[in-house]
A and B are shown apart, each in its own frame.
Chain A
């Protein structure tokens, strides 16, 4: 047992939680952490650092050691004689807010000011349990003790999927990714380590970067907070540098892969714009084929018996809305995915677009993706988008009626959050005549059966002096927002998960409980002439940030406003395996790109027969 925090040193404490995957071999070496941190503490006091890091180390077994106190010199309990039974991140995370709340009150009673807690995870494998919603809670809980930044260090063997899903849970600015692997050796200024039994002394001596950090003397808290993440980087580097050295000298951790992680990502296809447009091959159902044609579209829909009407009263095969709002040109479209055509199910995606003279300054758009395992997600997505755009409209109207000044960004966020709650609550009551409404009474249905994502945008209408504008985008779940500029796609929302396999792992509405839940809000600049998109992952996953052949195809087709027929045809592109519902709202901003000239699009005489 080690001593507790020495309370005499700083006024500020910075709680750090380090979660170690027991399947990493680093966990066996974590014992040296205590000594490293003790060293760190000495160093810090000699440099006049004002904040005391207190750290808790959790080895994320199936029975994680959560009772460990927060200590300057952590007591690490790792039963190396017990066989590790896997990595369970979810279990650790679900208790973490409560856990840190307790510690914060304890520190406060000792007269400390507590900085935002930080979380670092060292992983060599995907988690054995569901961790997405606990993670979102840890970072988004309404509690004031939510965590600040996730420092996620993973073995090279942990491939994109786990990391993608993580990216889907948090805004970009909230996580830091780092890989540890043998190739990192070069960046560590040290002689090669041959024995895994590296001593603490050596480890501390090898720690890079520490002396170069300028830590400010005691100043106001605000100023300090801006440096918190920098401090944490140092602390985690302090922890990781010796671990990396050790890691690189022991055998690889490859065996931790499981089959839900792709073993092989595609080699990025070179992105080249075709110099002359080639006529695209069409499927038996008239879809342009990109790559390999899907099985369903190899037969005409009336012959295959694979393309069925729904078990419900509608299948919502295609819905399109088109029009302008002052200077903006807008198309919204949703089409039923092949898996639903084959499975006799309706389209579970929805979109809504609203603009009128009462609130002439804003366009409100929304898209929603019903979670496929949820029984009533088709009802939910449709109701969510309608309710949320109406609620946004009404609330902005109320605000602008009373005042001549336009609402500020903060005000719009507040309005947006309230509108999300309104839409979420509206889900839980219905009448039987609503489209796809559940036949049961509201109290007979688990709210999880309504799960659907929701992404909305509030877009200023009417040009500013330079034609640029800023939209406010809010989202729960993984329906992405993209900007298309000169045929280049830019993903605005966090990278979408691509390897979703767990039920309800995507963040989704309805919000459950009184206090939890808010959308994530982003301020999104839209340059004059670029196109703004909200979409569901039926398109989002295919686009792959524009790097895929679908991204290149749609980038060329959608850079300028299109006829309804052309837009629908391109949206119905065919590629084997792309069988999800697809929904997109495209907002073109002036000046619109002109269509290619005839010379560019027609084959030259020399080439024609």
Chain B
């Protein structure tokens, strides 16, 4: 039997990553909606001093490759949200690989500044089938038990995405007893759905960061989507 040192202090921060598809198929209304939505997230968080101090937000875009568009940051430190530009295919492998190295680096940085880091949350947004067949391996490296910093993934499929794949990307959040995986209904306007999703991301980030100690408060289902975990 071992007695342990009880860690009874330290401020807590909750990192959020937006992992967004910018493949060719996103071009048009969908990507326009993302590009209008990202500044709203920035505005909502940076203008609430309480939330701003407790959450960190990063944006990673992916197509054939993945890129850290906004490295994880306190949003008040960011002057302007960059935009996404459509190009190429849909490599989930690149997305998950870049997310993993970003998380590893970011958690180490946050820890070294004396913070307790809560399990990161990824909002995954895609409208296409993965073009890289080996993505489950990269997904497992990110979310499997071998990764001590395995994030929760909440996943949103827009018109063109495959339900089963979107469901597989999402992780099971035991505390909440479900996966959060949603697919846009056929026939709803893709731009409107994306705006809805972004509004839910904002609500989630703000609610989660408003607690005395931050904690993931899950999003409500956006209008015009199917809950894949209940199908």
On whether the beta carbons of A164 and B118 are closer than 8 Å, the reply is no
On whether the beta carbons of B49 and A258 are closer than 8 Å, the reply is no
Measured CB to CB, the nearest residue on chain B to A252 is: B145
Q: Is B8 an interface residue (CB 8 A)?
A: yes
Q: Digit string of A159-191 for contact with B (CB within 8 Å is 1, else 0)?
A: 010011001000000001111000010000000
When distances are taken between beta carbons in the complex, the residues of chain B under 8 Å from A372 are: 212
Q: Which A286-301 residues have C-beta < 8 A from chain B?
A: 291-292, 294-296, 298
Given that A259-B175, A549-B114 are known contacts, is A265 also in contact with B10, CB under 8 Å in the complex? yes
Measured CB to CB, the nearest residue on chain B to A550 is: B9
When distances are taken between beta carbons in the complex, the residues of chain B under 8 Å from A256 are: 174
Stretch at the interface among A74-82, A414-422, A540-548: A540-548
Q: Digit string of A529-558 for contact with B (CB within 8 Å is 1, else 0)?
A: 000000000000111110111010000000
On whether the beta carbons of A543 and B9 are closer than 8 Å, the reply is yes
Bound Cα distance A176, B4 (Å): 10
Stretch at the interface among B18-26, B64-72, B105-113: B105-113
The size bracket of the interface on B is 35 or more
When distances are taken between beta carbons in the complex, the residues of chain A under 8 Å from B6 are: 160, 163-164, 167, 495
Q: Is A263 an interface residue (CB 8 A)?
A: yes
Q: Is A269 an interface residue (CB 8 A)?
A: yes
Q: Is A467 an interface residue (CB 8 A)?
A: no
Given that A160-B6, A264-B116 are known contacts, is A86 also in contact with B50, CB under 8 Å in the complex? no
Q: Is A430 an interface residue (CB 8 A)?
A: no
Bound Cα distance A292, B10 (Å): 13
Bound Cα distance A260, B208 (Å): 11
Q: Which A550-591 residues have C-beta < 8 A from chain B?
A: 551, 575-580
Shortest Cβ distance from A334 into chain B, in angstroms?
17
Q: Is B53 an interface residue (CB 8 A)?
A: yes
Bound Cα distance A260, B4 (Å): 20
A85, A306, A501, A577 — which one has the most chain B CB atoms within 10 A of its CB? Answer: A577
When distances are taken between beta carbons in the complex, the residues of chain A under 8 Å from B4 are: 163, 177, 179
A86, A177, A258 — which one has the most chain B CB atoms within 10 A of its CB? Answer: A258
On whether the beta carbons of B174 and A542 are closer than 8 Å, the reply is no
Q: Is A237 an interface residue (CB 8 A)?
A: yes
Shortest Cβ distance from A411 into chain B, in angstroms?
33
When distances are taken between beta carbons in the complex, the residues of chain B under 8 Å from A164 are: 6-8
Q: Digit string of A87-101 for contact with B (CB within 8 Å is 1, else 0)?
A: 000000000000000
From A163, A240, A497, A548, contact of B114 by CB (8 A): A548
Q: Is A125 an interface residue (CB 8 A)?
A: yes
On whether the beta carbons of A178 and B2 are closer than 8 Å, the reply is yes
Q: Is A357 an interface residue (CB 8 A)?
A: no
Q: Which A248-268 residues have C-beta < 8 A from chain B?
A: 251-252, 254-267
Shortest Cβ distance from B55 into chain A, in angstroms?
10
On whether the beta carbons of B213 and A500 are closer than 8 Å, the reply is yes
On whether the beta carbons of A254 and B145 are closer than 8 Å, the reply is yes
On whether the beta carbons of B215 and A262 are closer than 8 Å, the reply is no
Given that A291-B114, A339-B212 are known contacts, is A577 also in contact with B49, CB under 8 Å in the complex? no
On whether the beta carbons of A237 and B1 are closer than 8 Å, the reply is yes
Shortest Cβ distance from B210 into chain A, in angstroms?
8
When distances are taken between beta carbons in the complex, the residues of chain A under 8 Å from B211 are: 501
When distances are taken between beta carbons in the complex, the residues of chain A under 8 Å from B10 are: 262, 265-266, 498, 541, 544, 548
From A237, A496, A542, A579, contact of B50 by CB (8 A): A579
When distances are taken between beta carbons in the complex, the residues of chain B under 8 Å from A259 are: 14, 118-119, 121, 152, 173, 175, 215-216
Given that A259-B216, A263-B107, A342-B49 are known contacts, is A491 also in contact with B119, CB under 8 Å in the complex? no
Q: Is A196 an interface residue (CB 8 A)?
A: no
Q: Digit string of B162-200 for contact with A (CB within 8 Å is 1, else 0)?
A: 000000000001110100000000000000000000000
Measured CB to CB, the nearest residue on chain B to A499 is: B213
Q: Which B36-56 residues have C-beta < 8 A from chain A?
A: 48-50, 52-54
On whether the beta carbons of B148 and A263 are closer than 8 Å, the reply is yes
From B53, B76, B114, B146, contact of A269 by CB (8 A): B114
When distances are taken between beta carbons in the complex, the residues of chain A under 8 Å from B107 are: 263-264
Bound Cα distance A259, B55 (Å): 13
On whether the beta carbons of A498 and B8 are closer than 8 Å, the reply is yes
Bound Cα distance A561, B9 (Å): 26
When distances are taken between beta carbons in the complex, the residues of chain B under 8 Å from A496 are: 8-9
On whether the beta carbons of B174 and A258 are closer than 8 Å, the reply is yes
Measured CB to CB, the nearest residue on chain B to A299 is: B49
On whether the beta carbons of A258 and B2 are closer than 8 Å, the reply is no
Measured CB to CB, the nearest residue on chain B to A549 is: B114
Q: Is B135 an interface residue (CB 8 A)?
A: no
When distances are taken between beta carbons in the complex, the residues of chain B under 8 Å from A258 are: 119, 173-175
When distances are taken between beta carbons in the complex, the residues of chain A under 8 Å from B152 are: 259
On whether the beta carbons of B8 and A545 are closer than 8 Å, the reply is yes
On whether the beta carbons of A263 and B117 are closer than 8 Å, the reply is yes
B8, B74, B152, B212 — which one has the most chain A CB atoms within 10 A of its CB? Answer: B8
On whether the beta carbons of A86 and B177 are closer than 8 Å, the reply is yes
B9, B54, B74, B118 — which one has the most chain A CB atoms within 10 A of its CB? Answer: B9
Measured CB to CB, the nearest residue on chain A to B11 is: A577
On whether the beta carbons of B53 and A577 are closer than 8 Å, the reply is yes
Bound Cα distance A202, B205 (Å): 52
Q: Is A368 an interface residue (CB 8 A)?
A: no
Q: Is B12 an interface residue (CB 8 A)?
A: yes
When distances are taken between beta carbons in the complex, the residues of chain A under 8 Å from B34 are: none
On whether the beta carbons of B53 and A576 are closer than 8 Å, the reply is yes
Measured CB to CB, the nearest residue on chain B to A269 is: B114
On whether the beta carbons of A294 and B215 are closer than 8 Å, the reply is no
On whether the beta carbons of B118 and A338 are closer than 8 Å, the reply is no
On whether the beta carbons of B215 and A501 are closer than 8 Å, the reply is yes
When distances are taken between beta carbons in the complex, the residues of chain A under 8 Å from B11 are: 542, 575-578
Bound Cα distance A179, B145 (Å): 19
Measured CB to CB, the nearest residue on chain A to B45 is: A295
Shortest Cβ distance from B17 into chain A, in angstroms?
13
Q: Is A126 an interface residue (CB 8 A)?
A: yes
When distances are taken between beta carbons in the complex, the residues of chain A under 8 Å from B110 are: 264
From B48, B114, B175, contact of A260 by CB (8 A): B175
Q: Is A409 an interface residue (CB 8 A)?
A: no
Measured CB to CB, the nearest residue on chain B to A237 is: B1
Measured CB to CB, the nearest residue on chain B to A86 is: B174
On whether the beta carbons of A267 and B111 are closer than 8 Å, the reply is yes
On whether the beta carbons of A295 and B49 are closer than 8 Å, the reply is yes
Shortest Cβ distance from B149 into chain A, in angstroms?
5
Measured CB to CB, the residues of B under 8 A from A are: 1-4, 6-14, 48-50, 52-54, 74, 76, 107, 110-121, 145-146, 148-150, 152, 173-175, 177, 211-213, 215-216
Given A240-B1, A296-B49, A577-B13, 4 more A-B residue pairs with CB atoms under 8 Å apart are A252-B145, A259-B215, A342-B48, A501-B211
Ordered by A's residue number, 20 sampled pairs between the chains whose C-beta atoms are within 8 Å are: A160-B6, A163-B4, A176-B1, A177-B4, A237-B1, A240-B1, A259-B175, A262-B118, A262-B119, A267-B111, A267-B112, A294-B49, A295-B53, A498-B8, A498-B116, A543-B9, A551-B9, A577-B12, A577-B13, A578-B11
